[in-house]
Homo-oligomer: A and B are copies of this chain.
């Protein structure tokens, strides 16, 4: 790492200040208000005993997610998708990404015929909303699973969580790989990558995109190194937030 100075004074491999307010929402079975710097995402988990009809009778559960941004979470107000009458491609894409990321750490057999729907609503956006959403959603998910165990919808010995999961963005700006891009960095990045990593350090998703010039194998490797380091920090924070309660099998 060299000594390039970032807009907010961070080192190239430094995350923004991360906070996780567990249980922020009093009505959901699990919830977390997570901040990556000024980015704030409210994640709530809704636990339903039972699964959609097409899945019934297989002894397996389902985990899914919906992502959305408040219209004035951004610097310029956006129209509501409900007003436009259709959900945009980016929203769909991120909702699907969050769902896949969470499912990668859940043993659906151990979950049993239960459904968990995670809502990730961006209250304030300053870059990295999808990675904050995944990281916070895991905390909400873990609490909803404990709630389900308390209600005996999940057996006492079942271990539906097989790992934890966190996500972080990395990018190349002026040729320099850096971790956890804020919005002003994101718009300037030549390459932008979102990486979803489990607590054990395995990859769930790697999504790298050349926004400007295409990238070579060496750049790709540097970005992956940075991401794995940042994700490990986030995994530690998740574990600290959840304490002993998130029982990973």
CA distance A86 to B100 in the complex (A): 22
Known: A81-B82, A89-B96. A71 touches B208 (CB 8 A): no
What does the 1/0 interface line of A61-85 toward B look like (CB < 8 Å)?
0000010101111110100111101
A2 at interface (Cβ–Cβ under 8 A)?
no
Flag if B92 contacts A25 (CB, 8 Å): no
| Nearest B residue to A48, CB-CB | B77
CA distance A72 to B168 in the complex (A): 25
Number of chain A interface residues as a range: 35 or more
What residues make up the interface of A, taking CB atoms closer than 8 Å to B?
A: 25-28, 31, 38, 42, 44, 46, 66, 68, 70-75, 77, 80-83, 85-93, 95-96, 100, 104, 117, 119, 121, 123-125, 163, 193, 198, 200-210, 213-217, 220, 224
Flag if A82 contacts B87 (CB, 8 Å): yes
Which residues of B have CB within 8 Å of A125? 27
Known: A70-B42, A87-B82. A124 touches B25 (CB 8 A): yes
Which residues of B have CB within 8 Å of A70? 42, 44, 119, 121
Select A83's contact among B83, B87, B204, B209, beta carbons within 8 Å.
B87
Chain B: minimal CB distance from A187 (Å): 15
Known: A83-B87, A87-B83. A72 touches B209 (CB 8 A): no
Flag if B203 contacts A124 (CB, 8 Å): no
Which residues of B have CB within 8 Å of A74? 27
Which residues of B have CB within 8 Å of A100? 209
| Nearest B residue to A208, CB-CB | B206
Flag if A27 contacts B75 (CB, 8 Å): yes
Flag if A204 contacts B214 (CB, 8 Å): yes
Which residues of B have CB within 8 Å of A163? 214
CA distance A230 to B146 in the complex (A): 41
Listed by A's residue number, 18 A-B pairs whose Cβ atoms lie within 8 Å are A26-B38, A27-B72, A27-B73, A44-B71, A66-B83, A70-B119, A77-B117, A82-B86, A89-B92, A92-B93, A100-B209, A104-B210, A104-B214, A200-B214, A201-B216, A206-B207, A206-B220, A207-B208
